[in-house]
Chains A and B, each alone.
Chain A
Amino acid sequence: MAMLEKAAAQVGGTIDDRFGAAGWIKKTARKVFPDHWSFMLGEIALYSFIILLLTGTFLTLWFQPSQSEVVYHGAYTPLQGLKMSQAYESTLRISFDVRGGLIMRQIHHWAALIFVSAMVVHLCRIFFTGAFRKPRETNWIIGTILLTLALIEGLAGYSLPDDLLSGTGLRITEGVLLSLPLVGTYLSYFLFGGQFPGDDLIARLYTAHVLLIPGIFLALITVHVMLVWYQKHTQYPLPGRTEKNAVGYPFFPVYTAKAGGFFFITFGVTALLSSVATINPIWLFGPYKPGEVSDGTQPDWYMGFLEGSLRMMPPWEIRAWGYTVPMNVLVPALIVPGFMFTALGLYPFIERWVTGDDREHHILDRPRNVPTRTGLGVLAISFWLILLAGGANDLFAITFHLSINSITRAFQVLIIVIPPISYVVTKRICLGLQRRDREKVLHGRETGIIQRLPDGEMIEVHEPISDTEKWMLTQHLSRRPLELEPDTDDNGIPRRRLLLSKARARVSRFYFEDRVEPPTPAEVREIETSGHH
Chain B
Amino acid sequence: MSEHTHTDAAGVEHVESADAAAAVQEEHAGAIVARDEHGEIETHYANPGLAPHIYRRSDIDKTAAQRREREVATLFGLSTIGTLIFLVSYFVFKPADKQGNSNQLLSTVHYSTLGLGLGMGLALFCIGAGAIHWAKTLMPDDEIVQERHPMHSSAEERAGAVEALKEGAAGAGLGRRKLIRNSLLGAMAPLGLLALVPLRDLGPLPGASLAYTAWRKGVRLVSDPSRNPIKAEEVPIGGVVHVMPEGIDKMPNPLDEEAKAAAIVIRLAPDELHERPDRRGWDYNGIVCYSKICTHVGCPVGLYEQQTHHLLCPCHQSTFDVTHNCEVVFGPAGRPLPQLKISVDSEGYLVADQDFQEPVGPSYWFRGEN
Contact = CB atoms under 8 A, between A and B. Distances in A.
A20 B259 CA distance: 64
Contacts of B125: 264-265, 267-269, 271-272
Interface stretch (A96-104, A117-125, A215-223, A373-381): A96-104
A95 B94 CA distance: 12
A472 B28 CA distance: 16
A175 B298 contact: yes
A289 B225 contact: yes
Nearest to B114: A275
B148 A246 contact: yes
B368 A258 contact: no
Interface string B84-122: 000000100111101111100100010011111110111
Interface string B2-34: 001111000101000010011001001001010
Interface string A132-150: 0001000000000000000
B122 A268 contact: yes
A51 to B, nearest CB: 10
A405 B334 CA distance: 16
A178 B94 CA distance: 47
Interface residues of A, number: 138
B190 to A, nearest CB: 21
Interface stretch (A414-422, A453-461, A475-483): A475-483
B206 A185 contact: yes
B187 interface: no
B146 A31 contact: yes
Interface stretch (B132-140, B232-240, B271-279): B132-140
Interface string A382-422: 00000000000110000000001100100000000000000
B44 A467 contact: no
Contacts of A196: 256, 259, 298
Contacts of B224: 291
B368 A247 contact: no
Contacts of B281: none
Contacts of B43: 474, 478, 517-521
A313 B95 CA distance: 47
A390 to B, nearest CB: 10
A189 B205 contact: yes
B128 interface: yes
A75 interface: yes
A460 B209 CA distance: 81
Given A267-B124, A268-B123, A30 B367 contact: no
A117 B161 CA distance: 43
A254 B135 contact: yes
B299 interface: yes
A190 B203 contact: yes
Nearest to B206: A185
B140 A272 contact: no
Contact of B363 (A242, A326, A482): A326
B313 to A, nearest CB: 8
Interface string A164-196: 000010011011101111101110111111111
B114 A179 contact: no
B48 A265 contact: no
B310 to A, nearest CB: 11
Given A30-B5, A32-B145, A310-B332, A103 B299 contact: no
A189 to B, nearest CB: 4
Main secondary structure of the interface of B (DSSP, over half): mixed
A310 B316 contact: yes
A10 interface: no
Most A C-beta atoms less than 10 A away, residue of B44, B90, B136, B148: B148
B81 to A, nearest CB: 13
A290 B255 contact: yes
B288 to A, nearest CB: 18
B338 interface: no
Interface stretch (A294-302, A341-349, A490-498): A294-302
A71 B148 CA distance: 65
Contact of B134 (A257, A270, A271, A405): A257
A168 to B, nearest CB: 6
A180 B367 CA distance: 12
Interface string B340-370: 0000000000000000000001111111110
A275 B116 contact: yes
A242 B47 contact: yes
B180 interface: no
Contacts of B192: none
Contacts of A267: 124-125, 128
Most A C-beta atoms less than 10 A away, residue of B45, B46, B121: B45
Contacts of A274: 113, 117
A445 interface: no
B47 A272 contact: no
A528 interface: no
Nearest to A172: B297
B224 to A, nearest CB: 6
Contacts of A265: 124-125, 128-129, 132
Interface stretch (A152-160, A206-214, A355-363, A423-431): A355-363
A249 B297 contact: no
A518 B44 CA distance: 9
Interface string B38-71: 1111111111111100000000000000000000
Given A178-B363, A197-B256, A470-B45, A257 B135 contact: yes
Contacts of B218: none
Contacts of A186: 205-206
B127 interface: yes
B299 A172 contact: yes
Contacts of A23: 11
Given A103-B120, A189-B204, A272-B117, A290 B101 contact: no
A232 B121 CA distance: 33
B332 A311 contact: yes
A500 interface: no
Interface stretch (A1-9, A11-19, A56-64, A314-322): A314-322
A276 B99 CA distance: 23
A46 interface: no
A293 B117 contact: no
A348 to B, nearest CB: 15
B299 A293 contact: yes
Contacts of B146: 30-32, 232, 245-247
18 contacts: A23-B11, A75-B99, A76-B105, A174-B298, A194-B256, A195-B253, A195-B259, A195-B260, A197-B259, A248-B144, A258-B135, A262-B132, A268-B126, A271-B117, A297-B315, A326-B362, A326-B364, A477-B42
Given A290-B262, A474-B44, 4 more contacts: A194-B203, A196-B256, A246-B145, A275-B120
Interface of A: 23, 27, 30-32, 75-78, 95-97, 99-100, 102-103, 106-107, 135, 168, 171-172, 174-176, 178-182, 184-186, 188-200, 231-232, 239-250, 253-254, 257-258, 260-276, 289-297, 307, 310-317, 319-320, 322-326, 328-329, 332-333, 355-357, 360, 362, 393-394, 404-405, 408, 467-468, 470-471, 474-475, 477-480, 482-483, 517-522
Interface of B: 4-7, 11, 13, 18, 21-22, 25, 28, 31, 33, 38-51, 90, 93-96, 98-102, 105, 109, 112-118, 120-132, 134-136, 139-141, 143-148, 150-151, 199, 202-206, 209-210, 224-225, 242, 244, 253, 255-256, 258-260, 262, 292, 296-300, 302-303, 314-318, 328, 330-335, 361-369
